[in-house]
A = this chain, B = another copy of it.
Amino acid sequence: MKKLINDPSDVVSDALRGIAAAHPELRVDHENRIVFRGDAPVQGKVGLVSGGGSGHEPMHGGFVGAGMLDAACAGEVFTSPVPDQMVAASKGVDGGAGVLHIVKNYTGDVMNFEMAAEMVAAESGTEVISVVTDDDVAVQDSLYTAGRRGVGVTVLVEKIAGAAAEQGRPLTQVADLARKVNAQGRSMGMALTSCTVPAAGKPTFDLPDDQMEIGVGIHGEPGRRRVPLAPAREIAEMLVEPVLGDLDFTGGDGVLVFLNGLGGTPLLELYLMFADVAAALEKSGVRIARSLVGSYMTSLDMAGCSVTLLKVDDELLGLWDAPVRTPGLRWGT
């Protein structure tokens, strides 16, 4: 296993030390493994808490700051954080206007956040609303299953809900916006290689040199199917087609396209892929209103990418363009 790490069981706490050292504007609670805005709690503002397993950096700790999250809880690699963390985070960001939990739809994340919300409700008067993201079209949706995974749209939910909270909107509105973004977003991912979980020490799956996985998530789970390697242009079609097939993205004010790298893929390839994704969208009559290209939600060292489309309107565009100041996303004043 070739990684820049010390003891595999210290990966998360070691990385949190690095985040603290690199970002004096954030406050890191090392004991509870929480990254806080330096000025949390912000009085009168809805507090945004997210979190999940580690291995997806910059998500979520890198999205803490003005205009986005107030706190992020870091679990072990690919393992949801424990309720104690979300309880401590919720307390730490409660500025009197309630707290929004942004939870990716994985059994573990949902259950741990649920228990945390129950504990917060039992212990204090803080109002908590949870929004669960589930945008991955690679997974068949059904009442009888765990449902779809929360992937790329989570970053967009955090940005847009974060902007709404920063504007001082009330909890229910911020939660509604988060749900709207999730409802209007869809994603699909692919992998050229597996990733290696540090504690496991070897690749999660073996993938021959001439094969790739289509429909992967962000935890090294194998995808829906294995197919021969193909040119970027065909991969773009394989990702865009099921997304467009799941929701109508034509017309309206266009879409925000988020092309995400999974950790081991350099920006050169992401820009190249983006060219082909943009071409595929144009062919289908989908108008690109905004775009984001980079490795924002990674799966350790996995090589591959995901495409997320979000149907936008004036409100969402305004919130997307609103200032944000986090290690991972930063623009505006």
Contact = CB atoms under 8 A, between A and B. Distances in A.
Interface of A: 2-7, 11, 14-22, 54-55, 57-58, 62, 192-193, 209, 212, 229, 231-233, 235, 259, 263-276, 278, 288, 291, 293, 295, 298, 300-301, 303-305, 325, 330-333
B300 A4 contact: no
Q: Which 9 A-B pairs have the closest CB atoms?
A: A18-B271, A18-B275, A263-B266, A17-B275, A57-B267, A18-B274, A4-B269, A333-B333, A2-B192
6 contacts: A2-B229, A6-B276, A18-B271, A22-B278, A269-B301, A333-B333
| Copies, count | 2
Nearest to A55: B268
A220 to B, nearest CB: 12
B272 A18 contact: yes
A16 to B, nearest CB: 8
A73 B18 CA distance: 34
Nearest to A23: B291
Contact of A21 (B16, B17, B275): B275
Most buried by B among A3, A293, A332: A3
A331 B333 contact: no
Given A3-B269, A15-B271, 4 more contacts: A5-B269, A18-B276, A22-B274, A54-B268
A19 B291 CA distance: 11
A209 B272 CA distance: 30
A18 B273 contact: yes
A81 to B, nearest CB: 15
A54 B276 CA distance: 19
Contact of A18 (B265, B278, B303): B278
Contacts of A295: 266-267, 295
Contacts of A55: 266, 268
Given A193-B2, A275-B17, A301 B266 contact: yes
